[in-house]
Every structure is written in C-alpha cells, then in structure tokens.
Structure 1
Amino acid sequence: MDYRQARTQAGFWLEYVALRAVVALLSFLGVDRGSAFMGRLWRWFAPFNPRHSRADQHLANAMPDLTSGERKRILSDMWENLGRTFAEGLLLPEIVRRPERIVLSDGLAADIRAIGAGGAVFCSLHQGNWELLAVGGASLGKPFAGIYRELKNPLAEAYFRSRRETAYPGGLVAAGTTSILRLRSLARSGVAIAMMADLPDGTGIVAPFFGHPALLSKLPVTLARHLGLPLVVAHCRRVDGAHFCIEGERLDLPHTDNAEADVDQATRVLHATFETWIRSEPGQWMWATRKWPNLALHDAASK
C-alpha cells in the first residue's frame, strides 16, 4: 500500500469513527432531542455554506413575491429541516420501532390498500423527511425497496446501509448500470419501489418548474408505464418536531400509441404536484439543488 492509499484509508477510518461518535451522541439524546439538536446546529451554521446563496437565488427566482426577510426565514427553516432529517436518518432503527410518529392520510392509505399484493412505483421529493415514506407504507403491510447512491467510504457505506435497511424491508438497491433491472424484478414480485424524483436529471425532460426551464426526472413515470404498475406520488411533511404526516395520491398515467408523449405529459403532472407541495411548505424543501440549468449558468457567470 502506497502513501496515497494509506492516507485514504486513514481518512475513511477517521470519518467512520466520527460518524459512530455522532450516532452515539444522538442515540443518547433520543430521537426528539437529537433531531432538535442537529436542526438547531444546521440552522445556525449552514447559512455560512456556499450553497446558501444558491438556495436564496433559487427561492427568489421561484417565488419572486417574497421579501428578503421571508426568504431568510424560509431558508432558516430549510436548514433546520435538513439538519433534523440528517439526525433522523442516523436514528432510523429507533424511528422504525416507533411508527406512531408517522401518520398516513386516509386517501393515501386507501390507495396503498387498493394496490394489494401487486408492485407499484412510489416517488417523492426532498421535502420533510423523505426517508420515512417507506416506514409509513410498511405499517400497512406493503414492503418498500429504495434506490440510493453509495458512499465513497466503504466503512461508512456499510454502516449507513445497515441502519437504512430497517426502513426498507423490500431491500436497498445501489444506483448503477444494473439497478433498473433489479428494480424491475422487485416490482414484479410485488414490492413497492420508492425513489426520489425532484433532483435534476440530465436524462429527463426540460419543462417549466416554478416558471423556469428545469431538468425533470422521468424515471418513475417511465418505469411505471413500462411495467404497467400504479404510480403513487407522496410526501412526508414534518408537522411537529420529529412527528410526520404522509400525504399523496395515485396518478393516472396516459396510455396512447405515443409512449414518449405519455411519459412527457405524466412527468409534467408529477412535477406540478411537487410544485404545489413545495409552495405550501417552502421551508421543508431543498432549495440548493441545481434544478434549473439556466439559473445555474447565470449563477456561475455572476461569480
């Protein structure tokens, strides 16, 4: 092992030890106090992150009627929510053991029950605590599988995965070249596939989002239409500290002879739903995402 490899391995171990220390602290505090503690830290310190100015610009462009004071409040709420979500992600096993923290709306519960033993595609957005959609679905006996991006640190990756698996009885699938095949297999076996659909996707379509051209992911619509599965869109709102309400609905997918046009239309409807939810709770969405390519170019040119 050369010096560079040794330094990398040492860095991995330091990150892992720090991670375990944070989990130990949060476990000692418990879910409610740990979530509040991390949320407060992020509210105080995250605005010094370079992403804060990007988030502020995106919010100003998306909701131009807001005053600077209103944007400041929303972004402070956003950072607190992200800090809380980070802590709750590390404490997933504890939250899974307390499902009463998560309430499903009657309409969404009815849609999940109507699916029965068949597979489905569930998509959500980075609002509230998005990890808990699977926990809510499992409370109705529906196994969920999740797709995620692996961490570069193998020690942290193995530890994170072991804790996240408690929320995904259908399994976790690492994003990659074979992930779609695995997701198809799981969906055909009756598992609900949970995925995020609000991040920018260069393989998707370009369409208006908050009035500006944005990169919209079409993966959930494509997968649902290709496999003939129901598509459910849901979000997990934070309603009181570490307590949540999951709301959503089944989206009707168009089926014509033009599959590409059908996917385009349904993707726009999906993101229109996202936009409505974000407008209702703007402090719970992740505004720093590079959703708008033209705005990203503008930001880069202005620096």
Structure 2
Amino acid sequence: MLKEIRWYLELALFLALSLVISWLPGRSADWVGRRLGRLFFFLLKERRRIALENIERALPFLEAQPGWVRRTPHELARETFENLGRSLLEDCKIYHGHGRRLIDTVEFRGQEHFERAREKGKGVAFITAHCGNWDLMALAFGARIQELTVVARRQDNPHLNDVLERIRKAYGNRVFYKSSALRAMLGAFKRGETVGMLIDQAVGADEGILIEFLGRPAWATKLPAYIAKKAGTPMVPAFIHREGNHHVMTSYPELIPSTASDPERAAAEDVQALNRCIERYIVEHPTEWYWIHKRWKNTDGLSAPVPGGSDAP
C-alpha cells in the first residue's frame, strides 16, 4: 500500500513538473536542463560517487586514446549530469507534445550503412548504448526514416514506466521488454524490421560474456551475438550526440561477425567488437555516456579472456 502511494506521488510530481517544463522555449529549456542536472549532481550523492569512481578508474584507458582531451573526473561527472538534465527536459517536451522541433532537427549521418544492411532482407539490429539522448534517437529515426522497436527494461514504478512507454511509442515505434524480448525480436527480424538494442548495462554471468571495457573487465550481454548467429541479422552500431544546438545520429558500417570456429570465442569477439564502438563514442563524447550506473559489477578479481577485438568504426 505504501509503495503504491509512493509510486503515485512520484508520478504526480513528474507530470506536474514536466508539464511546466514542456512549455519552456528551446534556449530556456536548455539552460534549465543544465541547471537541473547540476542540482542533481549535488543532491544525488550516491550517483555522483558512482560517476566519479567510474571515471577515475577509466582515466588511464581514456588518456591513452588518440584525441583524448584531458579533463578532471569532477568536470566530466558534473557535465554528464548536466547533459542528463538536458535530455530529461527534452523528453518532457516530447511527452507533452512539444518536441516535434527536436525530432525534426536531428541530423542523420551514415544512413548508407543502414540502407545497405536493410537490403539484405533480414532486418537490422541497431546496436547502441546509453549515449546522448537515446530516446530521442529512436523517436527521430522512427518518425523520419523507418519505424523501429526498442528493447527496454521495465521501471520499478509501473506508472512511470507507462509514461516512458508512451514516449517511446510516439510516432509509431514499439517496445519489447527484456523479460520476453528474444522471441519477439527474432520474429521482428524475420519480418525485416529494425530493432534498437542498448547493450552497455551490466548483466549477470549467466547471461553475459566477460569482455574488456574502458580498460577493465565487464560483463556484457551476449544477445546481439546470439541474434546474429540465429537470424543472420546485420548489426549496425548507431549513436547520437549533441552538436551545437541540435543532435546528430550516426550509423556505422555493419559489424562483420567473427569467423572463429569456436562458437563461444566467436560470440565473445563479436561482443567485444561492439563494445569497442561504445568506447570510441565515449572517447569522442565523454560527458554524454551514462557514467552514473554500476557498469562493472561482479568483476573483482576477474580478467577479460578475449584480448583486442575489432577496432571501433
């Protein structure tokens, strides 16, 4: 009973605040989003701690990459929260029907890679991560290029989950939830459809492959590699980032699956290669990745068994 009351209070607070926020003009909304994110940075102490620890431990890897611009963990973490605040305001605008300009101004690059993959007739798996405003990426692609399905995790608060589902289904997109996604995804690919998959969250050892991510061992979902083998569906890495006053979605060439004879090694190499794509994005846009979650859970004392992997696009 108390949990249900809390859920409704959270929903009411979100709807009230988001309605007010949704009417803010573009520049004002961006300014408010940054300040809201900075407020979260100071108030959400545990999330701030996680972000700072993740960044500090990833710095040796990041600083060794070509093109890395040296910045302190505090600066990177604070700007990460600011970007999350900006994305939150953008999603509020979309939820309340004031986000069409956001969608119409997204710039698409590398569309030829998606078209080439789609021509194979086996559907397309967009492989992405919690980068930039990932919900906006799916909405803009669905509204302007081709409807797609996103794979998501249900929120603990079912009422807030309904709000997120409404956002994700805007402009014709669909949602598959992880608990029952595999069969639905295989069916979608058989029909030649496009599915977006976020692959950068920690998973358990029973459903993951141990890889190297930002210089540390991490469990990563093996679902993309399984789908590529089972359905022959092309895997196309795609990400969104902020550029000036608009967003850019970039699609990269299809990942060519590993030719290793051992199925387990082939899957591990494919998953490692996909995560290399995410690493490259983080090097280029370090404050637009989701540093605030526990990406490296249950890996103490472990080392990634698969060295290297394919280079990022």
Report the TM-score when normalising by structure 1: 0.85
Distance in 1, Cα, partners of 2:259 & 2:270? 10
Instruction: Show the 5 A alignment for 1:58-73.
Output: 58-64=54-60, 65=63, 70-73=72-75
User: Would the aligned equivalents of 1:31 and 1:94 in 2 still touch at CA under 8 Å?
Assistant: no
- 2:22 is the alignment partner of 1:18: no
Q: Which amino acid aligns with 1:23?
A: S
Cα deviation code 1:117-148 (max 9, x no counterpart): 64111111112111123234335532210111
Q: Which residue of 2 aligns with 1:289?
A: 293
Aligned partner (choices 215, 225, 233) of residue 219 of structure 2: 215
Residue of structure 2 in register with 1:229 after alignment: 233
Letter in 2 for 1:119: G
Partners of 1:120 and 1:229 within 8 A in 2: yes
Can you list the C-alpha shifts for 1:247-291, whole angstroms capped at 9, x where unaligned?
131211124543322211111111111111101111111222222
After TM superposition, the structure 1 = structure 2 runs for residues 66-81 of structure 1, keeping only pairs within 5 Å, are: 70-81=72-83
Aligned to 2:48: 52
CA contact (8 A) 1:96 1:135 kept: no
Q: Deviations over 1:49-73 (max 9, x none)?
A: 2121221122111113599962221
Deviation at 1:25, TM superposition (A): 1.0
Aligned pair partner of 2:258 in 251, 254, 257:
254
Pair 9,292 (structure 1): closer, same or farther in 2 beyond 3 Å: closer
Q: Does structure 2 retain, via aligned residues, the 8 Å contact 1:27–1:91?
A: yes
For residues 67-87 of structure 1, what are the alpha-carbon distances to aligned partners after superposition, in whole Å with 9 as ceiling and x for unaligned? 996222111110011111222
What one-letter code is carried by the residue in structure 1 that aligns with 2:182? I
Q: What is the aligned partner in structure 2 of residue 245 from structure 1? A: 248
Deviation per CA, 1:213-248, whole angstroms, max 9, x where unpaired? Answer: 11122222222221111101111011134x111113
Contact 1:221 1:263 in 2 (8 A): yes
Select the residue among 90, 93, 104 that pairs with 1:91: 93
- Determine the C-alpha separation between the residues in 1 that align with 2:106 and 2:264: 37
**Alpha carbons of 1:44 and 1:57: their partners in 2 closer, same or farther (altered >3 Å)?**
same
Gap runs ≥5 in structure 1:
298-303
Q: Which amino acid aligns with 1:39?
A: R
Q: What are the within-5 Å matches in structure 2 for residues 80-159 of structure 1?
A: 80-92=82-94, 93-96=97-100, 98-105=102-109, 108-114=110-116, 115-116=118-119, 118-138=122-142, 141-159=145-163
Q: Give the conservation status (yes or no) of the 8 Å contact 2:139–2:173.
A: no
Distance verdict in 2 for CA 1:18–1:78, change over 3 Å: same
Q: In 2 relative to 1, CA 289–152 (structure 1 residues): closer, same or farther, beyond 3 Å?
A: closer
**Percent of residue pairs bearing the same amino acid type:** 22
Count residues with an aligned counterpart. Answer: 287
Contact 2:122 2:231 in 1 (8 A): no
SS of residue matched to 2:250: strand
Mapped to 2, the partners of 1:31 and 1:232 lie a distance apart of 31
Q: Is the contact made by 2:218 and 2:299 (CA closer than 8 Å) also made in structure 1?
A: no
Mapped to 2, the partners of 1:246 and 1:56 lie a distance apart of: 27
Alignment root-mean-square deviation, CA: 2.5
The residue matched to 1:45 in structure 2 has which SS?
helix
Q: Which residue of 1 aligns with 2:195?
A: 193
Matched, 1:205 2:205: no
Contact 2:33 2:85 in 1 (8 A): yes
Could you say which structure has the higher helix fraction? Answer: 1
Mapped contact 1:102–1:246 kept (Cα < 8 A): yes
* More moved, 126-135 vs 275-284: 126-135
Does the Cα contact within 8 Å between 2:122 and 2:234 map onto a contact in 1?
A: no
Q: TM-score, normalised by structure 2?
A: 0.82
Residue of structure 1 in register with 2:271 after alignment: 267
Note if contact 1:12-1:153 (Cα within 8 Å) is conserved in structure 2.
Answer: yes
Q: Aligned in 2, Cα 1:206/1:226: closer, same or farther, shift over 3 Å?
A: same
State the distance in 1 between where 2:123 and 2:192 align.
4
